[in-house]
Structures are given as structure tokens and as C-alpha cells.
Amino acid sequence: MRIFKKRREDTCAVQSTSCEISKSPFLFATALGVGGASPHRFSPQLALSNGQLIFRASGMKDFRQMKQRGEKITALTAYDYPTARLLDESGIDIILVGDSVGMVVLGYLDTTDVTLDEMLHHTRAAARGVKQALLVADMPIHTYDTPVQAAETARKLVDAGAQAVKLEGGLSHVAQIAAITHAGIPFMAHIGMLPQHVREQGGYRIKGRTQMEVEALLEDARAVEDAGAFSVVLEIVLTDVAKQITNAIRIPTIGIGSGEHCDGQILVTHDLIGLFPWFTPKFVSPEARVAEEIRRAARAFIERTRGTAG
């Protein structure tokens, strides 16, 4: 009980900070970067991204209505123009420029080394290939430590071509989320296993194994909904717990390694198509073996070139 009391106290503190930002003209203007900052496509008057107005104004799908209709939401990652264009042409609902780019493209051990400049670069590339899907960009680690920084980072990603942003965290980040949504920028939440905290969490561990974890996840989900998220990613959460969370909130849950009861599913495209053969998560069943095809084509080219030499 002491832990939950502390979580509630922390929640009150960050929610209070969020309210102060929205009430104070100076703090709110600072959080939105008003005065000298480049404008983005979303209006501060849109308020919360899970409200109806922002969906109509930005032209994005109303994912809450999709949840109500029982229509599953589909999402995949892309970090470059051709992949984003192919996914968009395939009819995917959401394309995420994830900080997973650090592992499957840039060769980092995890996502903790990914920088904002790298995310801006890959967001610009992916944005050039997207016409229909919602393009969401991850906010890399330590680019949203404060509400003001979060709003600034979100605006930079929107300026690079993103239509929405995502950061990791629930109760602990409601002030940051509120700053983003009050700026009129659609926001996707991410709770459960948090890859940016993989080192302190001791690996990629399933969440929701204890009643304490279940209660914390439910609190996180309700908090991000109240802060204005239009959806929430549930990463590596026990299936029954993911179902419980899905039934407890009005915004859609988008699962990755969290079972079939979520309102949608997201995967790293490299995992789906077998482009990163050195590691495949246990919950992924690749639909293709692109790495094998690349090796086969490269060997064929080598043999053909050497066979005609001289």
C-alpha cells in the first residue's frame, strides 16, 4: 500500500505541474515554443488529442471509433522512404518511425543511444513516402525530461513530417503528455515494457505478473487517457492483463507481444519480414525471409560477376 500511496502522490504532483503549465500564459507559451519557433500543422486550440476536434482538424482517423466498431488497428515501423511508401500503399493504418531504428538499422545494442537528430533524419525520410497512413515518431530518451522539453521535441518531430508523437511512460509522464496534447499534437502513449529503460529493468521482461504490476499498468493506462493520448501501446504485457486494460479504457490499445485482445497490433517491420535475422522476438512469426533473399541475390551477383571476369 505504501508504494501505491507514493504513486498517487507522484501523480498528483505531475498533474499539478501540468495544470500550472496550461494555466500560466508564460509557461504554456514556453512549453509550446511560442515566439520565434517554427509553426507546426496543429493548432493549440485543439486541446486533447483523444477529443473529436483534433481528428477532424488534422485529417487523421478517429481510432476511438475504430475501437468502438471492433475494427482492429494495424501498425508497422518504417525508417526510410521506400519502406514507408510500401507500407502506406499496403493500407496500413499507422506507420511508426520508432527508436527501434537504433537496433535494426544503426547497429546499437538498444534504443538508449538513439539521438533526436537521428530521429528527425529518419522521420523526414519516412514522411516523404506516406500519403494515407498516420505517421507517428518516437521521442528518443532524454528528449522529454520536462514538459517544456517534451513540447519542444514533439514540435521538432512534427516539423520533420510526423503527424503524431510517442513517448514511453504513464503516470510519471502525464505532465509531458499534457504539454504535448495541449499543443494540439496527437499523442500515442507507451506502457508496459519500456525499451528505453531496458538496462535498469534488467532486460525485456514480461509485465503484469504480479497484482502490483497489474494495478500499476491500469493506473498508467487511465492516466495517459486522461492526459489526452489517442491510443496506447502495450509492450510485452501478459495477455489477460492486456485484455483487462483494453476493457478498462476508451482509447484503443495497440499490442506488441501482448496477445490478441488488444484493439490493434504493431510490429517492427524488420521482424515481420525477416530482415534482421540475428534476433527475432519470440512473439513474432515472420511473414517473409528478406535477409535470406538478400544473401541469395548477393551471392548470385558475386558468382555472375566472377564467372564473367577475364
Whole-number pLDDT of residue 195: 96
The domain limits of the chain are 2-272
What pLDDT, on a 0 to 100 scale, did the predictor assign at position 203? 82
Which residue among the candidates 118, 152, 225, 235 is catalytic per the annotation? 235
Q: How far apart are CA 82 and CA 147, in angstroms?
A: 34
Nearest by Cα to 167 from 96, 106, 68, 107: 96
280 C-beta neighbours (distance < 10 Å), count: 15
pLDDT attached to residue 27? 41
Q: For the segment 128-155, what is each residue's pLDDT rounded down to a tens digit?
A: 999 999 999 999 999 999 999 999 999 9
- Topology, domain 2-272: TIM Barrel (3.20.20)
Task: Kindly give the parts of the chain with pLDDT less than 50.
Answer: 1-5, 14-15, 17-48, 51-58
Annotation says 235 is catalytic = yes
Q: Which of 117, 126, 124, 114 is nearest to 80 (CA)?
A: 126
**Which residue bears the cell 496534447?**
181
pTM for this prediction? 0.84
pLDDT of residue 70: 97
